[in-house]
A and B are shown apart, each in its own frame.
Chain A
């Protein structure tokens, strides 16, 4: 990652590596179950995390006082910290950047019913700390005892990617030695589902088919993921397992429309180019693109146009895990960052479930049918959010 460019050229930041991963997804909880899920078919039915058991992470009182999205946040972060081993950072130089689209919608919605039925005097004194979108990040920092920056990013479906990028930059700039980046969403409430349905964003066929000619909308999902990021030498000194390096990241805005992407994916393309520049890589060095690929007609076309603009045709192999995971909104970018890390670790690119009928307007090499073995190389991971927010991450195997 670059800190900037001065008269002599690019100013490089400290190197940032991934040393722990944690994930709570509808296709599996924990890295191994999640990875198995990514290699299989999409789960049937609603893409909730059906088997999430909060009592594994919280006492009974805590479980009542922490919204489901924040429970996911903590669970993912705890798993990532356990996976990283004894990072043992200076607490003043350890931070958290976590993402969510809407925060504690379930709590807000339930209390709004209480307001209508029983009046204001019955509103829970815990509503604010349950619904606030920073509750996830705050609870993670409290459990870790870390006193460095603890912040929340809310850029809709790009938030998870932006949070991992921001957590990495805290290390690159020298502010922190260890950080947790991630994102979480649990917005599959009656209100959330109705709102997405009425904006005609959801698939009417009920199947997520990223980049396929038959795609007709996204499948809303719950989930969260977290990564432990660490300064390279800090990780090496303690003999940590290093999954990969965050080489670069970028963020841009379409400044075009509150929900539709800019024509031709112009904002997405510039974000990808800036992320590659931050990583000091040429497009030819990229071995794989982990796409945003929501399965909506507009997103997938614009993203494909942007990928073609940056990489040419057919470009590197592209996959969208949303064929399996559905779209976990503010959690999606973090879940995909973990998928990228595991793709590098396990030398396989997971297939795009639901893909079978190529769209003539999308001339990409879409990995489908079966996982594709590969020699790990830098990966570009894309996320785009309502509001015109674009986020890209470049994660790579560690060079010396």
Chain B
């Protein structure tokens, strides 16, 4: 996990989800730990697409429940 890439990922998540930085850890669950619903995730993905200049299809989000899973999805596209 690249530090610079994760920092960028984390700052997007902090901005969109309005949670403290230290809660954005790989094992954090979007629903239970970060109080994020499905529309929050749509907005987060939009922010990540913009920050990393990538495209994420809606179907790729199925099964994504944790910060680590989302980070892996994003980092694989960079």
Tell me the A residues contacting B by CB distance below 8 Å: 59-61, 64, 118, 121-122, 124-126
8 Å CB contact of B42 from A60, A61, A125:
A125
Tell me the B residues contacting A by CB distance below 8 Å: 17-19, 35, 39-40, 42-43, 46, 49-50
Q: Which residue of B lies closest to A59 (CB)?
A: B18
- List residues of chain B with CB within 8 A of the CB of A126: 39, 43
Chain A to chain B: the 6 pairs with minimum beta-carbon distance, closest first: A60-B18, A61-B18, A125-B42, A125-B39, A125-B43, A122-B46
Please report whether the interface of chain A is mostly helix, strand, loop or mixed according to DSSP: helix
A398 vs B15: C-alpha distance when bound (angstroms) = 51
- List residues of chain A with CB within 8 A of the CB of B18: 59-61, 64
Q: Which residue of B lies closest to A64 (CB)?
A: B18
A60 vs B43: C-alpha distance when bound (angstroms) = 15
Please report whether the interface of chain B is mostly helix, strand, loop or mixed according to DSSP: helix
8 Å CB contact of A121 from B17, B19, B35, B46:
B46
- List residues of chain B with CB within 8 A of the CB of A122: 46, 50
- List residues of chain A with CB within 8 A of the CB of B39: 125-126
A126 vs B43: C-alpha distance when bound (angstroms) = 8
A76 vs B43: C-alpha distance when bound (angstroms) = 29
- List residues of chain B with CB within 8 A of the CB of A124: 43, 46
A60 vs B17: C-alpha distance when bound (angstroms) = 9
A122 vs B51: C-alpha distance when bound (angstroms) = 12
A126 vs B47: C-alpha distance when bound (angstroms) = 14
A59 vs B17: C-alpha distance when bound (angstroms) = 11
List 18 A–B pairs whose Cβ atoms lie within 8 Å, in order of A's numbering. A59-B18, A60-B18, A61-B17, A61-B18, A61-B35, A61-B40, A121-B46, A121-B49, A122-B46, A122-B50, A124-B43, A124-B46, A125-B39, A125-B42, A125-B43, A125-B46, A126-B39, A126-B43
A124 vs B40: C-alpha distance when bound (angstroms) = 10
A125 vs B47: C-alpha distance when bound (angstroms) = 12
Q: Name the residue in A60, A61, A126 with the highest tally of chain B Cβ atoms < 10 Å from its Cβ.
A: A61
Q: Could you tell me the distance in whole angstroms from the C-beta of B25 to the nearest C-beta in chain A?
A: 19
Q: Which residue of A lies closest to B17 (CB)?
A: A61
Given contacts A61-B17, A61-B35, 11 further A-B contacts (CB under 8 A): A59-B18, A61-B18, A61-B19, A64-B18, A118-B50, A121-B49, A122-B46, A124-B43, A124-B46, A125-B39, A126-B39
- List residues of chain B with CB within 8 A of the CB of A118: 50
A121 vs B43: C-alpha distance when bound (angstroms) = 10
